[in-house]
């Protein structure tokens, strides 16, 4: 079933999760053990991240050698495995960066064949590797173009007009939103303008970047509504589990950690940080649920234990 259908039919706040594929050469059973814990909470859908190729350097007897590889492949296979093993709908992430339009079309054809109905269209992060584009091929530069490509396929329009047996696909398309503004946008108004373009192009729901101050989310939703963006906006949350995240999360995701949370974590013992993170997320969830948000999307990657404690504390499922 499509994400938008779950959101429209539910009379309460849903809970969804985002996981990350194992490292290259890793064992998918490790991921299955995480999902074995997640299914206890009846998630309507699970997101699976995608990763473009990156450059790595290794020292060899003859000097430094550059290697190019995808660190975490297998998004499509993992989505199919989850759907088949657990009968849970999955949302694979599709990226502009690191993939040609032709590769994206092939991925969408495969997802459609597997019965996967949802995708999240993202531009993707900058990487150390700029993929050379073969002659005659092209890439989507921005997520708007990616949304347009997916929607075109939903209309039966493929890159090759003479593609045989090309039936229309039927994907539900989600996009990302940034309550604290995308770091590259010159201002909030411009950022929301680009977001509205993606909705006008056919995206059906928004999942926000993680935030630790609910006021950012509520103001973001109101600004979207004022601009005529009326699709569901799902808040994304993450539980802080160690002190280093006070530095890494703002650096990597361009978000703010509230002063009160920062001070409490920095002044605490290392072993108490998880409990502080759970309590902070608990208060966020309580307010969001009371405000009747459509769903709460947890960025858990592969660390499920703090989430289990949080949901037990919430006692909402």
Active-site positions read 18
What gap in Å lies between CA 120 and CA 176, rounded to an integer? Answer: 8
Q: Which two tokens stand for residue 259?
A: 């002063």
124 neighbors 97 (Cβ within 8 angstroms): yes
Q: Which two tokens stand for residue 54?
A: 């990156």
Q: Which two tokens stand for residue 80?
A: 């199919």
119 neighbors 47 (Cβ within 8 angstroms): no
What gap in Å lies between CA 266 and CA 245, rounded to an integer? Answer: 11
**C-alpha pair distances (Å), 288 with each of 10, 162, 187, 203, 229:** 16, 49, 26, 23, 20
Q: Which residues pair with 118 in a beta bridge?
A: 172
DSSP state of 21: P
Q: Which two tokens stand for residue 115?
A: 């019965």
What gap in Å lies between CA 78 and CA 97, rounded to an integer? Answer: 21
Full DSSP string of 49-68: ----EEEEEEEETTEEEEEE
4 neighbors 175 (Cβ within 8 angstroms): no
Measured from the Cβ of residue 9, the count of other Cβ atoms closer than 10 Å reads 10
Q: Kindly give, in sequence order, each residue whose CB lies less than 8 Å from that of residue 160, ignoring residues fewer than 6 positions away.
A: none
* Cα dihedral 106→120→241→235 (10° resolution): 180
Q: Which two tokens stand for residue 100?
A: 């040609």
């Amino acid at each position: 079933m499509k994400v938008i259908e779950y959101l429209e039919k539910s009379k309460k706040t849903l809970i969804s999760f985002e996981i990350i594929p194992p490292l290259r050469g890793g064992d998918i059973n490790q991921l299955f053990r995480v999902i074995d814990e997640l299914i206890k909470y009846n998630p309507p859908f699970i997101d699976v991240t995608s990763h473009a190729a990156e450059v790595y350097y290794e020292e060899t007897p003859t000097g430094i050698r550059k290697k190019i590889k995808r660190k975490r492949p297998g998004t499509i296979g993992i989505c199919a495995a989850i759907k088949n093993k657990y009968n849970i709908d999955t949302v694979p992430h599709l990226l502009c960066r690191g993939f040609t339009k032709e590769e994206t079309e092939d991925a969408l054809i495969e997802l459609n064949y597997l019965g996967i109905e949802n995708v999240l269209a993202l531009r993707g992060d900058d990487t150390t590797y700029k993929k050379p584009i073969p002659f005659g091929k092209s890439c989507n530069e921005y997520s708007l173009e990616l949304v347009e490509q997916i929607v075109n396929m939903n209309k039966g329009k493929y890159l090759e007009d003479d593609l045989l047996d090309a039936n229309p696909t039927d994907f539900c398309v989600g996009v990302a939103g940034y309550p604290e503004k995308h770091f590259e946008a010159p201002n909030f108004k411009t950022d929301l303008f680009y977001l509205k373009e993606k909705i006008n192009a056919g995206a059906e729901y928004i999942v926000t970047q993680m935030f630790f101050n609910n006021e950012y989310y509520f103001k973001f939703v109101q600004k979207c509504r004022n601009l005529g963006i009326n699709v569901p906006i799902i808040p994304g949350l993450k539980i802080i589990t160690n002190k280093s995240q006070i530095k890494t999360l703002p650096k990597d995701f361009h978000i703010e950690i509230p002063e009160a949370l920062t001070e409490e974590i920095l002044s605490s013992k290392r072993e108490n940080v998880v409990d502080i993170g759970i309590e902070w997320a608990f208060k966020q969830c309580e307010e969001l649920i009371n405000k009747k948000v459509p769903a709460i999307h947890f960025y858990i990657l592969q660390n499920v234990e703090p989430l289990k404690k949080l949901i037990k504390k919430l006692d909402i499922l």
